[in-house]
Structure 1
Amino acid sequence: MSEAFKGLAEAYASLQGARSAWFVRARHVPETIAKLGLIGPSDRLVVRANDFTDAYLHHFGNGVLTFAMDQTPEAFLDATRSSAHPAAGGPKEGHASYADGAGARYDRLFWLVNSIGCRGLRVPDIRVLAEAAREAGAILIVDNTVASAWGCQPLSLGAHIVLEALDRVAGGALHAKAVAIAVARSVSGKGRKRRTDELAHRAYCLLAQRLGGEFSQLVFNVDDADLAIISEGLQTLGERMQRHTDHARVIAEYLAAHPLVPQTCYPGLKSHPDHDVAARTLMHGFGPAVDFELAERMCAGTFIKRCAASHRDHPAGGRATRLSPLCGDESHYIRLFAGLDDPIDIVDSLEQAMRLYCNPPHA
């Protein structure tokens, strides 16, 4: 273990209010969970991530994976009840990669939600969901990639594990993609007020068994060059994320008023269904992303090609605003991540693309 890792892990854990933190070479959150083997064959994973369905289906079998229909506690409980337990009638032996001893029966329940995510950039009430998870005996995992550690602190709201793809933290400069993992403290208070969160302790044991103890890491290590980039990125994260977030709001307000945009989804708009929840869950604004729908005759792929500022080939999390089709090139839905570039230039580029689509040049 390098000193670079230890210092960075301590800094990231402090930012998240976590017991410990690790960094894993992986493209995104579902790949990270699969890579670590957190979900065994007799466990259940209930996920709400309808903008990332294919990735979860790719990494997890139908036997352990169930999709919740909404981000509410009721939807997660319904999905939990409706899924047949993989261990029912099966062998008692457990999965060797887990923290418990050999021969234990595994029937763990995991709930996973995004702090900002799904189509329409929904924001769950993490505090309420965490209370429901605790009553259900579920370890609550939050994908915090869109909001970042600067924009949301799920552990302080009751989550047990938080994961974050680090493209934006690193400003799009990583040589290999990486995901940060942080786990909640399991003990709080002193003396008679001392309390132990058993689910948080189990979450730590699962991660420590796979990765190493507090502020140590044995496998899936990110190299020192990328650790240095992440460390530098953390020092400027607040300043950069504030600009990302402020620019997203400007672009969202423009799109919300445009006659050729039937729907604009941004948690900072009062029209967003989770606006009030986002105001008490997110910090420093409402995130760097905007989802919007094009008029029916417009296709996302073609629109993006005609938009000079789409920057589809630029690195994720970098300085440039990026547009990508949310449901494929033939759909009408686009997700925009605001960059550090001038939002007025982006608005102008979007306007020109709208006009070009409506009035194409004659051959």
Structure 2
Amino acid sequence: MHASQVELARRFADMQGARATWFSYARNTADLLAKVGLVGPHDRLVVCADDFESSFASLFPAHDVVFLSDATPQAFLQASMDDPEGEEARLIPQGSPASYAHPAGIHADRLFWFVGSIGCLGLRVPHLRALAEAASAVNAILIVDNTVPSCFGCSPISLGAHVSLEALDRVAAGRLSRSVVAVSVARSVQGRGRRRLVSPDAEEAYRLLAFGLGDPDDVSGCGALDDQALDAISRGLDSLPARMQRHFDHAHAIAEYLFCHPAVGHVFYPGLKSHPDRALAPNVLLHGFGPAIDFSLQGTHAELMLDRHRRFLEVCACANRRSSAGGALTRLGLAIKRDLSYVRIFAGTDDPLAVVDSLDQALRLFCNPPEP
């Protein structure tokens, strides 16, 4: 059994061009980081994941964590400073990522940057190559949460990330009884001869992960997955391309419908021309624009946005909030950051026309609720 898990992890690593992959039980990617202990109490962790902020705040209460809503290299560099409002912050060079010098003021023992390949409220797509170049300039380890597009829809390692994390619910087609997170690390040496490049940050990431998770070629103890999880992941990887393409295509169709509905306020989907990252997304994402959509609903100031969205979910028959995450059924939920919220859709492989019809009926009930 242990050998089959090793082979499965190697297969997952090869899909991304990674040096190694570990599988571990964890509720989500933030929980995995906390369990492994990759980020120490004296390290600085810069996080751009405002829809995930509460998880990081609860899991890293005594750590030096800085939260961002802007995934640009400049924002990460400034958040990495000890005194971002002081004189040192002015020393951050401006210009292209290739021109970044090492800014003064970084005194944490180690520096980690965390961002989603698709993430934050509004499903932003960061410029991963630019972030990777800026991270290397300041010796930061770039960690990318690749859960939303999955390894089918994005390859953070090939774009320069040092570590890629992915909750495998969607890869396993919703068949996991316990959540599993895959941790992949980049190769520290790439190319040959004069083209040979060495990444000390990738080597440091591998060392830290191996210390926390063990030898990737020797699965034992708490690192071993059960037979059910291994079977679900193996079968999921076999069918991943066909399934994920349907997730992506269905999400695009649903987003186009929502964009045209008069009761819908804002629609955020990287494939729409209205999305702020529409021009960048094809350079980061593969095979489409992901399975997720964020949208808000029109309303009055008398009703809070969060209450409005909760009321919509109560009348939406296709919410499927009790169905398995990553499964065939389209699921609706809430993406929340304090007083801001959106309805978030994860498109399934079910009939998108039936989903749109259900959404249309729910929007009619939401706009014209029946009299008591």
Q: Taking structure 2 as the reference length, what is the TM-score of the superposition?
A: 0.89
**Alignment correspondent of 1:271:** 274
Shift of 1:220: 3.4
Shift of 1:341: 0.8
Q: How does 1:1-363 map to 2 (within 5 A)?
A: 2-61=2-61, 63-82=63-82, 107-218=109-220, 219-297=222-300, 299-327=308-336, 333-363=342-372
Letter of the structure 1 residue corresponding to residue 342 of structure 2: Y
User: For the Cα contact (< 8 Å) 1:302–1:329, is it kept in 2?
Assistant: no
Give 3-state SS (helix, strand or coil) of 2:24's partner.
Answer: strand
Letter of the structure 1 residue corresponding to residue 190 of structure 2: S
Gaps of 5+ in 1: 85-104
Distance 1:22 1:172 in 2: 20
Shift of 1:329: 12
Give 3-state SS (helix, strand or coil) of 1:51's partner.
Answer: helix
**Alignment correspondent of 2:91:** none
User: For the Cα contact (< 8 Å) 1:301–1:329, is it kept in 2?
Assistant: no
Shift of 1:164: 0.2
- CA deviations on 1:126-168 (whole Å, 9 max, x unpaired) are 0000000000110000000001000000000000000000000
User: For the Cα contact (< 8 Å) 2:15–2:151, is it kept in 1?
Assistant: yes
Letter of the structure 1 residue corresponding to residue 322 of structure 2: D
Shift of 1:354: 1.0
Letter of the structure 1 residue corresponding to residue 27 of structure 2: R
- CA deviations on 1:192-217 (whole Å, 9 max, x unpaired) are 43221111111111111121224333
**Alignment correspondent of 1:101:** none
**Alignment correspondent of 1:99:** none
User: For the Cα contact (< 8 Å) 1:300–1:331, is it kept in 2?
Assistant: no
**Alignment correspondent of 2:87:** none
Give 3-state SS (helix, strand or coil) of 1:139's partner.
Answer: strand
Distance 2:278 2:219 in 1: 39
Give 3-state SS (helix, strand or coil) of 2:80's partner.
Answer: helix
User: For the Cα contact (< 8 Å) 2:6–2:216, is it kept in 1?
Assistant: no
Shift of 1:64: 1.6
Shift of 1:279: 1.1
Shift of 1:358: 1.8
Distance 2:56 2:66 in 1: 10
Percent of residue pairs bearing the same amino acid type: 52
**Alignment correspondent of 1:96:** none
Shift of 1:69: 3.3
Q: Taking structure 1 as the reference length, what is the TM-score of the superposition?
A: 0.91
Shift of 1:330: 9.1
User: CA RMSD of the aligned region, Å?
Assistant: 1.8
Closer, same or farther: CA 54–111 of 1 in aligned 2, 3 Å = same
Shift of 1:181: 0.5
User: For the Cα contact (< 8 Å) 1:296–1:332, is it kept in 2?
Assistant: no
Aligned residues: 343
Letter of the structure 2 residue corresponding to residue 354 of structure 1: L
Gaps of 5+ in 2: 85-106, 301-306
